Structure 1
């Protein structure tokens, strides 16, 4: 039995949800998001809340139940407050700056890395060693942050590289004589 799936998703003020078949559209102050559920679950909007119920008792229906509820909750959170990932850049000479729709990263390579910022996501650099990725789609924000981090993952000896702000890098001791 899904404990997450049982909870209804509350709709805050200013957010509307419309269901047509297996597709749900959530509209709020920051924009519109939609999610298409599989045929294993039913979606209903009643009393300012969205409920998800499984069709049948199969294992797949129970799996889709909790996942669908979480995806809908992410849509509601995205159109109300949005999602944010913060990155830190550690290393001598490592820095970042945003120029229009391009993120320029100096990461110790022989050239600067130009990262094109996709639509629907905003990347800001409050400091040369900090990045903030924001948007309404949780999956897209996380994917853009992971793609930026991929250019120079943090290494365990000196801790140089791009890491998430809340990430802990397990440090290793170097060679001994």
Structure 2
């Protein structure tokens, strides 16, 4: 029977390696010229961005342009939706609503083709309308077209199980706060965050 060499017995073990961070986590860089307050703010925004990616299955019900006569706000849009629903003139389209790269994207569920996109600074307001008609969880998104200066209100039924329309509206507002701060005419100005 052979004995192990003295080198094998007295070999120092290496210290345990530090735990790995999840791949999506990025540690803040404290070696910058930013003040500690700005560093904390940037870090908080990056964590919010990672945690609250907005991606939900919705049913697009209706898009109406705001004018000075019939359509002035979300309540007018809901009244129009009720009227059209009573006449059987609402044909919903299932789609994916997501916030990605500072844009609100609407994509086809099957083909994943982008149907429409809005820069977040053009999103003026997100409103949850619950139990107002046949549709029990409506998300109303008010957007401003940059090229024509028109304001439109898009109505969606939140269809994904376990996702509340109120939560989606809250996420839209948080994204608007994080991205439109200091952007003239954006959600930040509208709600007084700028």
TM value normalised by structure 1: 0.27
Larger radius of gyration: 2
Which structure's residues are more often helix, by fraction?
Answer: 2
Task: Identify the structure with the greater strand proportion.
Answer: 1
